[in-house]
Structure 1
Amino acid sequence: MTETISIPLWQYLVLCLTALLVFIRVVVFPLWASFWSARTRNIVEEVNPFLQLNLSPFTLSRRRVLADRLANDPQIESQVRQIASERGESLEKIRREVWRIAWDIVPAFNPYFYFRIGYRLARNGLRSLYYPRIGFVDEESMASVSDEVATLFLINHRSNMDYVIANYLTACRTMLSFGVGEWSRIWPIQPLMRMAGGYFVRRDSDDPLYRLLLKRYVQMATAARVPHAIFLEGQLSRDGSVGPARLGLLSYVTEHYDPETSPDLVFMPIGINYDHVIEAQNMLRYSSEHFRTKGPLFILRNGIVFVARVMWELLLRRRSHGYACANFGNPVYFSKWLAHNGVHWPDLNRAQRYQWIEKLGAEMIDSITALVPATPVPVLCRVWFHDPIMKLSADELRVRFHALCALLEQGLCHLVLVQDNRNLTLEHALNHCLRRGIIRQSDDGEYEINLEMLPLANYYANSLSQFLNE
């Protein structure tokens, strides 16, 4: 019993590695799970009483539970047999694919990450780059929305920072679940997005099984009153203006609506604008197809550069990207919208419903377009929109800038001013554009657009076209 046993070094290393793995599985993982479970319970108990829209039990479900519920949903099961028959494949194979797709779609929401880590990251990151501002057409109407309804925040898509600003500005009211595109399917962005409540969307997928599961997940989440953020354009704006509505997610959430049994749907339009859109140069330089061919390494490289820039700005606190603003409109209740149009939704067939969804989508896009705020840089770029070779003295520029601000206010645009002062706003925008090379100052003191940067200047100016009848 006390004799020394000699074993080869490689066997010793294998035993040590096996013991370490057993220790991690038996001790570390349970302790880590217990720690996060306790933190999650504590944060839910802490924040839920103060949220305007309380956290849904569906939101708090584990990822595996959500994937199981989605994969075994009766509506999915009824379609699986038909798809297996059409493809000539075994039922078991199709069910494995269903599980894989369900696991790929559903989020892994973590309240502690969202309201503590994620919120602080968003706040510090956003404030290190921008001066964030928020506007309301009627704050009381937004405050009247309760968690008895399913709320959908409909947003124009200017930048991938939209995720950050929308979550940051609504964190005191609710959590937001949002569809995340393929750009984020790299580590560590993907797990962070899942923990923040994001579900993953392959926007151009033609796989009917995938579309079926995505549709059913969105419907289940809506029925459970999970607040959604939907970028109604479905993609980043390529020219700075608000594009037409893509109706996929909107048709999903309304498909099974019944005023007698379903929670009412509330659409909250939001317009977002920036002094500096981080992706603007890439949006002008590459098409969507060209950008996708760049692959994950291109996205990862740009992501690393962006994080490094944020860390540098965080240290310096320069807020060199200027102003970012989200402007909230009035909520639109689906039941009231249907009643106003004399529509009884359950009586309509699929084609008739889609016609009404097209009308609803167009109205929501119009609402969002009218909510886009005028931050200082887009206003300044608009001065040269119709005459890009124009040269202006400082006094002429000031007169034109003030006149443009007056026109925007007459058009009921939410104007973002520096300390409510137009001269300070012009000074801020001018310094920003001079630093970025969008505007140049000649030796005689006159200002002009750098024609090499004209597409970028027009990109910002286009965001305000809807307010001006020039």
Structure 2
Amino acid sequence: MEGFGRLVGTVILTIVVWELVRWAAWRTLRERWQTSIGEWMRRYDVKLEHFRFIDRMWVRQTLLQDPELDKAAAERAKELGTSVGEVRVKMEGWLDEIVPVFNLFSYYKLGGAVATAAVRFCYELVFDHEGLAAARKAIPEGAVTVYVANHRSNADYIVLSVGAMRQVALSYAVGEWARVWPLDTLFRSFGSYMIRRGEKDPLYHRVLSRYLQLVAARGLTTAFFLEGALSRDGSFRVPKIGLLDYMVGILREQPGKEICFVPVGINFDRVLEDRNLTVEVADGPPPGFSAKLVSLGRILRAGPRLALGVFGPSWLAAHRRYGYASVQFGKVVPVRELAPDIDAVAQLPRKERFARMALLADQLMDRIAQVVPATPVVLVCRALDAGATDPGAVRRHVREQIAAFRESGRPIAEGLAFASVSRARRDSTLTHTELDDHIVDSEEADRVVDLAFALLRRRSLMELRDGKVHIEPRDLALIRYYARSLDAPSRRAADVKG
């Protein structure tokens, strides 16, 4: 019996010691992580809004006690012939989906490290840090800040977050495709909010709008993709105006509140989903989760070749397996610059208000389109789509495009492979001779074509035969897909969907 008592005592003591050691280790690690994150944020002058750290239960309860939502729930219960309690249970489920749980460690350490490694593994990121810094500086204190971007790929979220991480944390509207474990947990810890784009229940949209108005009005920096879905032919989609209308709805309660939009242009040498998108018929359904898994499988299968592309010896190897991913920022656009009477517009009935929101969305799409960068593959695909059939014609067309884009202010995505070209261009400004400019422009166009040809041939989208560029008919849709990424967005305000 005495031996049994000693055994029990030893087990208890072991458990206590283990728990103390575990607690001490966890506390030490947490303190080190917090110190490391704090130093990192001070080094890069990262500014995070206080509201980002508000407990999600407070947000949830605030919305559940919102008088406007109480009234909407009662009206919806009457329409459905059910109890208010049942409707509120449904509201609570929606809020559990929508409201994120921002985690500093997940964003800047765990998730940030994984996302950065993934982006660098696939792409060479060309990010407009100066443009982002200028935009942040131009936003008035206390203004509602909304980053509005075009939507090329599901990688947009990661590419934009990785590039902006050292300056600003963004809360994204993430669609249904990310509502699966572990993506939902990861995105929530980043501060992203989940939305159901196809939800028909009007009460859901009231709940979502009140959430956005609550967090944005209190200073949370948000971002969304104005097109609402990926383009299947490469051109801009007709913008959605639901989230835009929710943001403007802040003015119904706070007339005069400043709302500033920051246009963001994103483009790629290789969109991971391009084949899945282009094979769909024009009126077919949007790509589902299974299609995205196929894209992920292709990435994993290409892993060994990606590694070779990353660690190869030449400047061409610096251009990652999938080429450039580029993000550019436009000038800050106060909402009253586009719609001086926006306070009155916010008070209009839904139908009249949506007509004005459509015009506002078109204007924002124009601003976004102006800063979508021209990557090497896009420039060459535009030349091929225009009828250039030999390398010399492609180079001339690319050179003409670059000159025209520079004159109009469109950014050109140029990474490490263009370092020598950039130096030569700076040197040529000292001599101001047409010959020097001609040499630099020609070298730049040659480098663009060499990079793009290497990427396109690696994917078997083109080959050179007898001095001519040959493209199989089945691949023409992909060439046009990339060429259209720089086309002007269609102005179809009457067709804009909410």
Pair in the same fold by TM > 0.5: yes
CA RMSD of aligned residues (A): 3.4
- Most deviating of 269-278 and 420-429: 420-429
CA distance in 1, matches of 2:462, 2:98: 44
Structure 1 residues 305 and 402, CA gap change in structure 2 (3 angstroms): closer
**Is residue 2:446 matched to residue 1:445?**
no
Find the partner of 1:391 among 389, 392, 414: 389
Residues 430-456 of structure 1: CA deviation (Å, up to 9, x unaligned): 1111111222111x2322323221000
* AA at the equivalent of 1:320: R
Find the partner of 2:183 among 176, 182, 189: 189
Match of 2:169 in 1: 175
Find the partner of 1:71 among 37, 40, 64: 64
Match of 2:436 in 1: none
Q: Secondary structure at the match of 1:463?
A: helix
Match of 1:427 in 2: 450
Kindly state the Cα deviation for residue 304 of structure 1 after the two structures are TM-superposed: 5.0
* AA at the equivalent of 1:179: A
Kindly state the Cα deviation for residue 269 of structure 1 after the two structures are TM-superposed: 0.5
Find the partner of 2:484 among 432, 442, 462: 462
Match of 1:127 in 2: 120
**Is residue 2:335 matched to residue 1:334?**
yes
- Most deviating of 35-44 and 212-221: 35-44
Structure 1 residues 87 and 259, CA gap change in structure 2 (3 angstroms): closer
Structure 1 residues 269 and 202, CA gap change in structure 2 (3 angstroms): same
CA distance in 2, matches of 1:108, 1:60: 8
Kindly state the Cα deviation for residue 62 of structure 1 after the two structures are TM-superposed: 3.3
* AA at the equivalent of 1:77: D
**Is residue 2:272 matched to residue 1:271?**
no
Kindly state the Cα deviation for residue 407 of structure 1 after the two structures are TM-superposed: 3.1
Structure 1 residues 304 and 188, CA gap change in structure 2 (3 angstroms): farther
- Most deviating of 59-68 and 344-353: 344-353
**Is residue 2:269 matched to residue 1:280?**
no
**1:88-237 mapped onto 2 (5 Å cutoff):** 88-135=81-128, 140-146=134-140, 148-237=142-231
- Most deviating of 319-328 and 303-312: 303-312
Unaligned runs of 5+ in 1: 6-15
CA distance in 1, matches of 2:284, 2:308: 36
CA distance in 2, matches of 1:342, 1:84: 33
Structure 1 residues 240 and 39, CA gap change in structure 2 (3 angstroms): farther
CA distance in 1, matches of 2:342, 2:64: 37
* AA at the equivalent of 1:213: V
Residues 273-320 of structure 1: CA deviation (Å, up to 9, x unaligned): 11101111011123686455x5x5554454355356468736862511
Structure 1 residues 348 and 27, CA gap change in structure 2 (3 angstroms): farther
Structure 1 residues 342 and 236, CA gap change in structure 2 (3 angstroms): closer
**Is residue 2:322 matched to residue 1:321?**
yes
Kindly state the Cα deviation for residue 211 of structure 1 after the two structures are TM-superposed: 1.5
- The percentage of aligned residue pairs carrying the same residue is 27
Structure 1 residues 56 and 138, CA gap change in structure 2 (3 angstroms): closer
Kindly state the Cα deviation for residue 408 of structure 1 after the two structures are TM-superposed: 3.0
Find the partner of 2:411 among 390, 411, 414: 414
Kindly state the Cα deviation for residue 397 of structure 1 after the two structures are TM-superposed: 3.1
Residues 105-125 of structure 1: CA deviation (Å, up to 9, x unaligned): 111211111122222222221
- Most deviating of 327-336 and 283-292: 283-292
**Is residue 2:427 matched to residue 1:404?**
no
Query: When the two structures are superposed, what TM-score results if normalisation uses the length of structure 1?
Result: 0.83
Kindly state the Cα deviation for residue 32 of structure 1 after the two structures are TM-superposed: 10
Structure 1 residues 79 and 291, CA gap change in structure 2 (3 angstroms): closer
Unaligned runs of 5+ in 2: 6-10, 311-316, 422-443, 490-498
Match of 2:79 in 1: 86
* AA at the equivalent of 1:76: L
Q: Secondary structure at the match of 1:202?
A: coil
Match of 2:375 in 1: 375
Structure 1 residues 49 and 68, CA gap change in structure 2 (3 angstroms): farther
